[in-house]
Amino acid sequence: MEKNPICELLGVEYPVIQGGMAWIADAELAAAVSNAGGLGLIAAMNSNGEQLREQIKKAKALTDKPFGVNLMLMSPFIEEAVDVVCEEKIKVVTTGAGNPAKYMEKLKNAGVTVICVVASVPLAVMTERMGASAIIAEGCESGGHVGETTTMALVPQVVDAVNIPVIAAGGIADGRGMAAAFMLGAKAVQMGTRFLTARECNVHPNYKEKVLKAKDRDTIVTGKRLGHPVRALKNRMTRDFNEMESDSTTPAEVLEKMGAGALRRAAIEGDVKTGSCMCGQIAGLVNSENTCEEIITGICRDAFALMGA
């Protein structure tokens, strides 16, 4: 089989990347994904510099394989996270939820391979010019912070617009989705929701169960008015938020306050009623808890069989 450019770039066996899920993607999940031959990522979103360093050290102890860090650009700890990534000689980072321009030079000078998550063609082109080694084109089927374009429409347009490899994300959870992504020109896939239900994922069991039980129409996007729309499973939180958001007299600060801490409440405390259970639209396809190894080898086996490789 032809060599895969993402496997070559990252030094991994399978072209499968785990999403950098805030409050969820810890050292244990990242190491499990990397040990299974994919690229595991630690989410830096919720950690200050020292907490992130601790997670990195933990992952280093759990795997000899390459793993990375996801830098969520709206994080209050973004500056510290960039410094820690450089100091700890992390090989690869993914950036998301913003424009990484400010941090590109520092990361590149430290020898970090930077892969940018984008939701539009212009940002894909811009990040290629800034020195990104690959692009993750994330469609709005995905969970968490979302753009406006679907994976089906976004991936081929990004593929045509850049000369670096493109990784597809959003709405992919099985071999069919992976094969479809490759047909659109992607060279790898990133999955969040699928790994959220992995046996090695430490998300609160209530959250995991809610994802496992979810059907196709159980997610909703809220927060458009705040400028950072988020897809999550429907619950009391999204219902109340929606009501307040559609009332134009509700000040933005009240909405911001409602959103703050909601993901932590669901992911760590297990409050899946008033917390935010960020999740992709593919949840209806994710019905069983599997090990990372089962997930990765299964999806690649099925996808490559469909592609006749």
- Quick one: CA torsion of 74, 78, 81, 82, rounded to 10 degrees? 110
Q: Would you count residue 191 as binding ligand TUI (CB under 6 A)?
A: no
Rounded Cα gap, residues 272 and 252, in angstroms:
23
The yes or no reply on residue 118 touching ligand TUI (CB under 6 A) is yes
**Should residue 296 be labelled a site residue for ligand TUI when binding is judged by CB under 6 A?**
no
CA angle 46-292-41, nearest 5°?
30
Length of the chain as a residue count: 309
Nearest residue (CB) to ligand TUI, 37 versus 171: 171
Nearer to ligand TUI, 33 or 300 (CB): 33
Name residues contacting ligand TUI, limited to 235-274 (CB under 6 A).
Answer: 259, 263
In sign, the C-alpha dihedral spanning 275, 280, 285, 287 is negative
Binding mask 124-153 toward ligand TUI (x if CB under 6 A, else -) reads --------------x-----xxxx------
- Dist. CA 245–CA 252, nearest whole Å: 8
Distance between CA atoms of 288 and 303, rounded to whole angstroms? 19
Q: Determine, following the binding rule CB under 6 A, whether residue 115 of this chain makes contact with ligand TUI.
A: no
Using CB under 6 A, which of the segments 2-10, 33-41, 94-102, 209-217 binds ligand TUI? Answer: 94-102
Q: CA-CA distances (angstroms) from residue 250 to 215, 232, 253, 256, 257?
A: 31, 21, 8, 11, 12
Question: 13 vs 269, which CB is nearer to ligand TUI?
Answer: 269
Closest CB to ligand TUI among residues 82, 118: 118
Per rule CB under 6 A, is residue 98 in the interface with ligand TUI? yes
Residues that bind ligand TUI (CB under 6 A): 22, 45, 72, 96-99, 117-119, 123, 138, 144-147, 228, 230, 259, 263, 278
